[in-house]
């Protein structure tokens, strides 16, 4: 029976960078995942967008740090994770959405973010070929960007291994071991491991892990689909986000959708269905491509003849207010949540990993403590983020 300082359940978008941060600090760390290798859960379904332009102060802080890590990774460590600083652009096509984006941009600027609401002419420059009918402008945040989820997580994994982290794959946690109200380790389908801290970073399966210590968490997965096209000549720099909902009586309604062109010229796109599709089903649907292609071609007619190469479906572990649940619980000493990322685990992971590392080491700063309070399981979940 091996002993560690901390055990992380889940080798995905949050678990892997957390292991990296802990291992760098000299904390003896074990990561356990039921799948065959790192990033084989919903991280591989992520489309790669990374932004700090949220309306939640702590999420902004975490993602700013994540962007620092992503953007400097190749220079510091030599791994090409396909980072591109193309920015994000949320477009407004109604007076209501113009007002929402103006107000949100003002709030984000007050938190120190580099973002502006720009007029329709500037949006046409940023998004060549956009349908200008009804276009009222939009926001642009040039420091946001994108990277490859798989390449990034494998780079974080390699770095964590180099610094001493250990991994057990194809191994499922079946029990969190307790001594009264204190965590002492975990039991899997193969072995037992001891540690005074256990971090739940189980993504779409976080609820069942929390139930192992008798904690009920308001995390419910819903599924989103994405796709990728053939490569075409590079023409589009920012991630484009259209927040205008659409009614489609044939293929189903949808909320927002978003897309960008990666460094190889492929358009990667994703859509938020309405109503949400609850559950853990990851099988592709026949309605997704008709839904999103109609919307994307309406916004950018020049996309009409690009061929789609592949589509896929992944889980967004959602919370009632669209924000993650991070930190310890009152009832169980040594158990820590790192769950409910709401589809933003990839952009939150590197920054959160450092916060969680300081938490385990009892070295949290005042800023960390404020962040953990805002992400607490015991917060009021009634205040929903405007642009989640």
Per cent of the chain over pLDDT 70 is 99
Q: Taking 90 as the threshold, does the pLDDT of residue 5 lie above it?
A: yes
CA separation (Å) from 2 to 10, 192, 222?
A: 18, 8, 36
> Which helix H or strand E contains 328, and what residues bound it?
strand 325-328
| pLDDT value, residue 321 | 94
Alpha-carbon span 377 to 373, nearest angstrom:
9
Could you tell me if 139 and 115 are in contact, meaning their C-beta atoms sit under 8 angstroms apart? yes
- Phi, psi angles (nearest 5°) of residue 239: -70, 130
CA 89 to chain centre: 18
Could you tell me if 237 and 249 are in contact, meaning their C-beta atoms sit under 8 angstroms apart? no
DSSP string, 15-53: HHHHHHHHHHTT--EEEE-SSSSTT-SGGGG---EE---
Radius of gyration of the chain (CA): 21
Tokens of 244: 């205008």
CA separation (Å) from 315 to 94, 113, 195, 310?
A: 30, 29, 29, 17
Q: Which residue has the higher pLDDT, 350 or 384?
A: 350
pLDDT in tens, 196-253: 999 999 999 999 999 999 999 999 999 999 999 999 999 999 999 999 999 999 999 9
Q: Specify the 3-state DSSP secondary structure of 178.
A: strand
pLDDT in tens, 282-294: 999 999 999 999 9
pLDDT in tens, 161-178: 999 999 999 999 999 999
Could you tell me if 388 and 222 are in contact, meaning their C-beta atoms sit under 8 angstroms apart? no
Q: Taking 80 as the threshold, does the pLDDT of residue 12 lie above it?
A: yes
pLDDT in tens, 343-374: 999 999 999 999 999 999 999 999 999 999 99
Closest by Cα among 86, 370, 345, 335 to 221: 345
| pLDDT value, residue 382 | 85
**Domains defined for the chain, CATH in brackets:** 2-75+149-218+321-374 (3.50.50.60), 88-143+220-316 (3.30.9.10)
Alpha-carbon span 123 to 135, nearest angstrom:
9
Average of per-residue pLDDT values in the chain: 96
Q: Taking 80 as the threshold, does the pLDDT of residue 385 lie above it?
A: no
- Phi, psi angles (nearest 5°) of residue 325: -115, 115
Q: What is the dihedral of CA 41, 45, 47, 50, to 10 degrees?
A: -20
Closest by Cα among 298, 345, 301 to 319: 345
| pLDDT value, residue 388 | 62
Q: Taking 70 as the threshold, does the pLDDT of residue 84 lie above it?
A: yes
Tokens of 91: 């477009």
**pTM of the predicted model as reported, rounded to 2 decimal places:** 0.96
């Amino acid at each position: 029976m091996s002993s560690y300082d901390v055990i992380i359940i889940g080798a995905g978008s949050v678990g892997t960078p957390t292991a990296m941060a802990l291992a760098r600090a000299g904390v003896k760390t074990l990561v356990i995942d039921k799948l065959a290798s790192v990033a084989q859960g919903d991280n591989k379904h992520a489309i790669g967008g990374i932004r700090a332009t949220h309306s939640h102060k702590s999420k902004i802080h975490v993602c700013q740090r994540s962007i620092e890590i992503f953007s400097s990774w190749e220079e510091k460590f030599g791994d090409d994770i396909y980072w591109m600083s193309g920015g994000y652009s949320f477009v407004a096509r109604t007076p209501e959405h113009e007002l929402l984006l103006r107000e949100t941009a003002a709030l984000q600027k007050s938190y120190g973010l580099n973002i502006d609401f720009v007029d329709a002419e500037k949006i046409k420059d940023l998004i060549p070929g956009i349908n200008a009918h009804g276009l009222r402008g939009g926001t642009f945040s040039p420091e946001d960007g994108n990277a490859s989820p798989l390449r990034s997580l494998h780079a974080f994994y390699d770095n964590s291994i180099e610094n001493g982290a250990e991994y057990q794959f194809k191994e499922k946690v079946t029990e969190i071991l307790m001594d009264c109200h204190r965590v002492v380790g975990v039991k899997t389908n193969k072995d037992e491991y001891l540690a005074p801290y256990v971090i739940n970073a189980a993504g779409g399966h976080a609820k069942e892990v929390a139930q192992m210590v008798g904690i009920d968490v308001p995390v419910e997965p819903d599924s989103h689909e994405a796709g990728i096209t053939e490569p075409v000549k590079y023409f589009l720099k920012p991630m484009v986000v259209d927040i205008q909902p659409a009614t489609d009586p044939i293929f189903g309604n949808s909320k927002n959708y978003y897309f960008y062109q990666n460094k190889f010229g492929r358009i990667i796109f994703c859509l938020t269905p309405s109503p949400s599709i609850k559950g853990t089903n990851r099988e592709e649907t026949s309605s997704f491509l008709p839904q999103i292609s109609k919307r994307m071609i309406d916004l950018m007619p020049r996309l009409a003849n690009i061929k789609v190469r592949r589509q896929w479906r992944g889980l967004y572990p959602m919370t009632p207010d669209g924000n993650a649940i991070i930190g310890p619980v009152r009832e169980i000493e040594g158990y820590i949540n790192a769950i409910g990322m709401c589809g933003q685990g990839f952009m939150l992971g590197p920054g959160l990993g450092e916060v969680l590392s300081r938490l385990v080491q009892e070295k949290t700063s005042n800023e960390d403590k404020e962040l953990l309070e805002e992400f607490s399981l015991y917060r009021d979940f009634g205040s929903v983020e405007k642009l989640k």
